[in-house]
Amino acid sequence: SQTIHQWPATLVQPVGSPLSLECTVEGTSNPNLYWYRQAAGRGLQLLFYSVGIGQISSEVPQNLSASRPQDRQFILSSKKLLLSDSGFYLCAWSVDWDGTQYFGPGTRLLVL
Amino acid sequence: TQLLEQSPQFLSIQEGENLTVYCNSSSVFSSLQWYRQEPGEGPVLLVTVVTGGEVKKLKRLTFQFGDARKDSSLHITAAQPGDTGLYLCAGPLFTYQGAQKLVFGQGTRLTINP
């Protein structure tokens, strides 16, 4: 069966510090991978998606970047965090023939 | 501009009551999905509706896809406290790379009071 992991679960970082959030998927090959940000109790905003290793598409201009160094690994990064980067970050995967996305447990980021 | 509009955004009712949540768009979608999210967790897929006019039932939850495939509704019968959560509708958009990305509604926060 497929599983998706995200870490850390919670992170508190000072403004201006770097960020690295990691997402890994097990039990499937060549998945499409996605990073979302969610404001408290609201809908999801797609940040990045990837259809393969090294292929990253950005949906919104922002202070963040994404990388996919391995088939089932997706990383969200920032060189210098802003207060507005605070939020709940969700990673998800899907396969091409089924639009269903399967979400990880999320990382809650608080920038102070 | 929100491609998918959900209403109401907040709903608080008593246990045992019925409710309907709506997801509307001016665009046609090949399918619509409904997710439910608990606090501090990722969304979990409840159902995908594919055919215009389709009705799917999941225990006390009934999902309907509009005939024109521009809207969907979620009806809960005899709501229970365990139904509390954030309900999200989502529709697929195809990227030029061939992947599907989902556009989400802003969600309906449902609270069922004992």
- What is the model's pLDDT at position B19? 97
Overall average pLDDT of the A27-55 stretch? 90
Q: What is the pLDDT of residues B74-91, one digit of tens each?
A: 999 999 999 999 999 999
What amino acid is encoded at A62 in this protein? Q
Q: Cα–Cα distance between A55 and B46 in angstroms, integer?
A: 30
Candidate from B44, B48, B104 with C-beta closest to A43: B104
CA gap B65, B71 in Å, rounded = 6
Question: For chain A, what is the mean pLDDT?
Answer: 92
pLDDT tens per residue, range A13-38:
999 999 999 999 999 989 999 999 99
Tally: H helices and E strands in chain A? 0, 11
Of A42, A49, A104, which has the smallest distance from its Cβ to B107's Cβ?
A42
pLDDT in tens, B33-47: 999 999 889 999 999
Give the pair of three-digit tokens for residue A8. Answer: 């850390």
Taking the C-alpha atoms of residue A5 and residue A92, their distance in angstroms, rounded to an integer, is: 10
Question: Could you tell me the end-to-end alpha-carbon distance of chain A, in angstroms, rounded to an integer?
Answer: 38
Burial-class residue A14 by CB neighbours within 10 Å (0-12, 13-18, 19+).
exposed
The one-letter code for the residue type at A16 is G
pLDDT: which is higher, B21 or A29 = B21
Q: Do B97 and A44 touch (CB under 8 A)?
A: no
Q: What is the pLDDT of residues A76-105, one digit of tens each?
A: 999 999 999 999 999 999 986 667 899 999
pLDDT at A49 (0 to 100): 92
CA–CA separation, A69 vs A52, rounded Å?
Answer: 9
Question: Under a CB-based contact definition with an 8 Å cutoff, are residues B46 and B39 in contact?
Answer: no
Taking residues A34-52, what's their average pLDDT?
Answer: 89
Please tell me if residue B99 touches chain A, with a CB cutoff of 8 Å. yes
Q: Which of B42, B86, B101 sits opposite A46 (nearest CB)?
A: B101
**Smallest Cα distance from A97 to chain B, Å:** 9
Single out the residue of B59, B61, B64, B8 nearest to residue B32, CA to CA. Answer: B64
In the block, residue with structure tokens 């990388």:
A67
Return the H-helix or E-strand segment holding A31: none
CA geometry: angle B51, A3, B103, nearest 5 deg: 40
Determine the distance from the C-alpha atom of residue B38 to the mean position of all C-alpha atoms in its chain, rounded to a whole number: 14
End-to-end CA distance of chain B: 36
Shortest Cα distance, chain B CAs vs residue A26, angstroms: 17
Q: How far away is chain A from the Cα of B76, in angstroms, using its nearest Cα? A: 20
Q: Do A92 and B45 touch (CB under 8 A)?
A: no
CB–CB contacts below 8 A, A to B: 64
